[in-house]
Structure 1
């Protein structure tokens, strides 16, 4: 009985070692190509954050989505428009990062998360890249009426 227990414990430990090794080796999400525009989105967990940072220079528009208190956001709806008001990309983020490879030019970025929205104009250079950081209100307090202690 004790030998059988040790055997199962060994199998469990070996499985955890194999599984944790495969998670550490997991790359950032694979690039997606839509209408000739390549992008990646994600950045959940330290391993994925490091993988995104390693790929950052391959993309000339890098966006980060956080709350004003510094927490990372996901599931942000993003639309990128060129100056002719044609939408070149529409995507929902899968983490706090969205890295896009665009032709050089001026673009308008519109984002939506629940009741919140924001817009930024960016210039994507022919060489190098642009950063756009969006800081939104904390989702759990946005649109919520908070009563101060004196009002109770």
Structure 2
């Protein structure tokens, strides 16, 4: 009885495994290229997040964008410049992740969200990869002035 059941369930198991692998592959955006630099951006939804995690080893600079409250952010304007200041990549993210394949070297990364900019410098290694995380204050609180340490602040609109 168990042998028959095993032979009946085994093909169903392989169909499920293959289908889930196909779903992960389909949820990963197609790589784009600019100035010879390959990148992917996205990460919206659980399937896409898992697909990005699987693709991470293929990119040597991996960036994540989030609020300090822990919410992922998209629509971040990112500029990557070489150590000599030459623009390498300019892109607006389509999710909280931007994975880039760059030649080894030193880069300056500028990220802007809702008129708030942050700049970081990073060394991309010849082997392995580098991670950058950008965090902004709560985007809903943009323009809020803190008038005392223990109060929430008053909105300037």
State the TM-score bracket (shorter-chain normalisation): 0.7 to 0.9
| CA-to-aligned-CA distance 1:58-98 (integer Å, 9 cap, x gap) | 00000000000110000000000001100100000000000
Farther off after superposition, 136-145 or 89-98: 136-145
Alpha-carbon separation, structure 2, partners of 1:110 and 1:33: 19
CA RMSD of aligned residues (A): 2.1
Structure 1 alignment gaps of length 5 or more: 1-20
Q: TM-score, normalised by structure 2?
A: 0.77
Alpha-carbon separation, structure 1, partners of 2:124 and 2:145: 39
| CA-to-aligned-CA distance 1:38-69 (integer Å, 9 cap, x gap) | 00000000000000000000000000000001
Alpha-carbon separation, structure 1, partners of 2:115 and 2:141: 11
Indicate the residue corresponding to 2:122 in structure 1. Answer: 122
Alpha-carbon separation, structure 2, partners of 1:71 and 1:27: 21
Indicate the residue corresponding to 1:140 in structure 2. Answer: 140
Indicate the residue corresponding to 1:31 in structure 2. Answer: 31
Alpha-carbon separation, structure 1, partners of 2:56 and 2:41: 11
Runs of 4+ in structure 1 over 6 Å off = none
Alpha-carbon separation, structure 2, partners of 1:39 and 1:142: 29
User: What SS does structure 2 have at the residue aligned with 1:127?
Assistant: coil
Farther off after superposition, 24-33 or 62-71: 24-33
Q: TM-score, normalised by structure 1?
A: 0.79
Indicate the residue corresponding to 1:91 in structure 2. Answer: 91
Alpha-carbon separation, structure 1, partners of 2:103 and 2:112: 24
Alpha-carbon separation, structure 2, partners of 1:33 and 1:111: 19
Alpha-carbon separation, structure 2, partners of 1:84 and 1:145: 37
Farther off after superposition, 80-89 or 26-35: 26-35
Number of aligned positions between the proteins: 129
Alpha-carbon separation, structure 2, partners of 1:45 and 1:132: 21
Instruction: Assess, with a 3 A threshold, how the Cα gap between structure 1 residues 83 and 146 changes in structure 2: closer, same or farther.
Output: closer
Structure 2 alignment gaps of length 5 or more: 1-18
Indicate the residue corresponding to 1:111 in structure 2. Answer: 111
Alpha-carbon separation, structure 2, partners of 1:115 and 1:63: 19
